[in-house]
A and B are shown apart, each in its own frame.
Chain A
Amino acid sequence: MNVIETSGLRRTFSTRRGRVEAVAGVDLRVEAGEIFGFLGPNGAGKTTTLRMLCTLLEPSGGEALVAGHDLRRGAARVRERIGYVGQQGGSDPQVTGRAELVFQGRAYGMGRREAVSRAAELVRALQLEEVADRRAGTYSGGQRRRLDIAMGMAHSPQLLFLDEPTTGLDPQSRAHLWEEVRRLRERGVTVFLTTHYLDEADALCDRLAIIDQGRIVSEGTPDQLKRQVAGDVVTLGLTGGPETALTLLRGQSFVREGTTGEGLLRLYVDRGETAMPAILRTLDAAGLELETISLARPSLDDVFLRQTGRSLRDRAA
């Protein structure tokens, strides 16, 4: 069963320089119970898409079903069924974590007593016991993020949206948060998250879509995506720039595909071990001087590179 289904979802913004198409027709299927990742560089349209799916932003066009309800006609129904954790979190630094959780429960229609007991449950579930009665402004980054997630789960939604959940967290807090997200999946919650971290998408997500310039360029499990790239990647740095070498090597039978970017030449080959000597011989014969050469199994960054011609790793820093 699909928890999210969109077709041709679009969003344009009017700016001083004219109309900008932030999301240019997105088709998505997110299945119940999976962790679905939306991977892309800053400004790719991840957050805009997520905000549309959460009823925060009206789509300029297209259709979307979220948690069984039409986004346009049933926004109120959608809101009752989804949880949302935005980039800024949403807790007031002056308010205690527990008070925020109680308010959140009540905002979803719970009575006072029910909201208080649900807040206590969430405090336990997200290990906030020690800090629950302190003001949120005193929390560490990881604690605040756990509070944010607890708020998003106040009404036990079956679908939780997380916008860049680990941005700005230290590695340990990130690892904790990943565990938290996996625990949600174990309880049957579908998680839709955006990230510009490759390792996060790779390690955490069951399936993901790669988005660039408002369009989905690739979709599948991390393994499927990496397999699309096929074989190994040989990266070459050449004294005279990559273009001549690309023309030369593209014709070779062992090279499936070659791309250039950031002054480097990337060759996608079936077997790196046998391709490397052949590459070296070809370059040598043509008198091209080699500076660096490296061999790698494909990563999600290679998938991104292949689809867009740019590296996500450099841009995400």
Chain B
Amino acid sequence: MKVLRDTGLVFNRYLLLFLRNPAWVVIQVVQPLLYLILFAPLLKSIAAMPGFPPGGAYNVFVPGLLVQLGLFGATSVGFGLISDLRFGIVERMRVTPLSRLSMLLGRALRDVVTLLVQALIIVLCSLPFGLSLHPLGVVVMLALLALIGLGFASISYALALRLKSEDAYAPLVFTATLPLLLLSGVLLPMSLAPAWLRAVADANPLSYAVDAGRQIFQDHIGDADVIKGLAIMAVLALLAVAAAARSFSRAVA
């Protein structure tokens, strides 16, 4: 299986490069940890409000935080690719017989692995605050995050290949991720939202991921919302991988 072999090759290359700068794992975790320490306590007092989902403030907040981590982490990977483009690394690989799909998957899977490590750190740090979670829930949540990471990392790579410069990539990514996050109920559940806002949020695939995450953290692993969230993220990931692999085979670096 050439694709598997090539994917492993590219994955190893980028994982090793990442491990050379382990500081990145920590830097990307700092922000969600700050939310956990400085923002989540506010939720304790409003968790009793009507419309706030049951299960305790942290079981409602942490899944959203993890989805946010996934989105931020995955959309920042495009910067690394742009730097690779500048050094001619993408071009050099495109002249070899390396599978184009592997050039994408090797990178994106590395991104997924780092995301999962970061997510585990957040979950572990949340336990002392009062998060309670079944181990199986952790596994399902990580699977959901893996799909989010794979999908959004692929989208980032496709965009980076098209835009080729940080100057174009950064504003696009920053303006696109904020509404995506706000409209997914990451910070506060969409059940508190007025009807029109909820209707807009329904069009955002990420809100299904957050809903699924919240159900998982309520120990409702078999819930229809969980299946729906996983399915939507899986379809998104599949489409994004296909589009990004195409970009790798056509990119003009």
Question: Which A residues lie within 8 Å of B17 (CB)?
Answer: 92, 94-95
Contact A56 B94 (CB under 8 A): yes
Chain B neighbourhood of A151, CB < 8 A = 92
Q: Please give the distance in Å from A15's CB to the nearest CB on chain B.
A: 13
Q: Are B95 and A82 in contact (CB under 8 A)?
A: yes
Q: Tell which of A84, A93, A95 touches B95, judged by Cβ atoms closer than 8 Å.
A: A84
Chain B, range 193-252, C-beta contacts under 8 Å to A: 250, 252
B87 CB contacts on chain A under 8 angstroms: 88-93
Contact residues in B for A90 (Cβ distance below 8 Å): 87-89, 91-93
A313 CB–B CB distance under 8 Å: no
Interface residues contributed by chain B, number (CB under 8 Å): 21
How far is A83 from B92 in the complex, measured between Cα atoms in Å? 9
CA distance A92 to B14 in the complex (A): 11
Task: Confirm or deny: A79 has a beta carbon within 8 angstroms of a beta carbon on chain B.
Answer: yes
Q: Is A106 an interface residue (CB 8 A)?
A: yes
Q: Would you call A87 and B88 a contact (CB within 8 A)?
A: yes
A106 engages B88 (CB within 8 Å): no
**Does A229 sit at the interface, judged by CB under 8 A?**
no
Query: Roughly how many angstroms separate A83 CA and B20 CA in the complex, as a whole number?
Result: 29
With a cutoff of 8 Å between Cβ atoms, the chain B residues found around residue A54 in the complex are 95
Query: For residue B89, which residues in chain A have a CB less than 8 angstroms away from its CB?
Result: 90-92
Q: List residues of chain A with CB within 8 A of the CB of B250.
A: 58
Contact A108 B91 (CB under 8 A): no
A284 interfacial contact with B, CB 8 Å: no
A254 at the interface (CB under 8 A from B): no
Q: Per-position contact with A for B68-85: 1 when CB-CB < 8 Å, else 0? A: 000000000000000010
A91 surroundings in chain B (CB, below 8 A): 87, 89, 92
Residue B96 CB within 8 A of the other chain? yes
Q: Does B97 touch A at the CB level, under 8 Å?
A: yes
Query: Considering the complex, which residues of chain A in the window 68-92 have a beta carbon less than 8 Å from any beta carbon of chain B?
Result: 76, 79-80, 82-84, 86-92
Q: Using A80-B97, A82-B95, A109-B97 as known contacts, say yes or no to A94 and B13 having CB atoms under 8 A apart.
A: no
In the assembled complex, which residues on chain A have CB atoms less than 8 Å from the CB atom of B123?
A: none
Identify which of B6, B88, B253 gathers the most chain A CB atoms within 10 Å of its CB. Answer: B88
Contact: A106 with B91, CB < 8 Å?
no
Most buried by B among A83, A87, A94: A94
| 5 cross-chain pairs, A with B, having the tightest CB-CB distances, nearest first | A90-B92, A88-B88, A90-B88, A107-B96, A84-B95
The chain B residues found within 8 Å of chain A, CB to CB, are 6, 9, 13, 17, 20, 84, 86-89, 91-98, 250, 252-253
Task: Spell out A's residues near B (CB within 8 Å).
Answer: 51, 54-58, 76, 79-80, 82-84, 86-95, 103-104, 106-109, 151
Return 17 A-B CB contacts under 8 Å, by A number: A54-B95, A55-B94, A76-B97, A79-B95, A80-B97, A83-B95, A84-B92, A86-B88, A86-B92, A88-B87, A89-B88, A90-B87, A90-B88, A91-B89, A95-B13, A104-B92, A107-B9
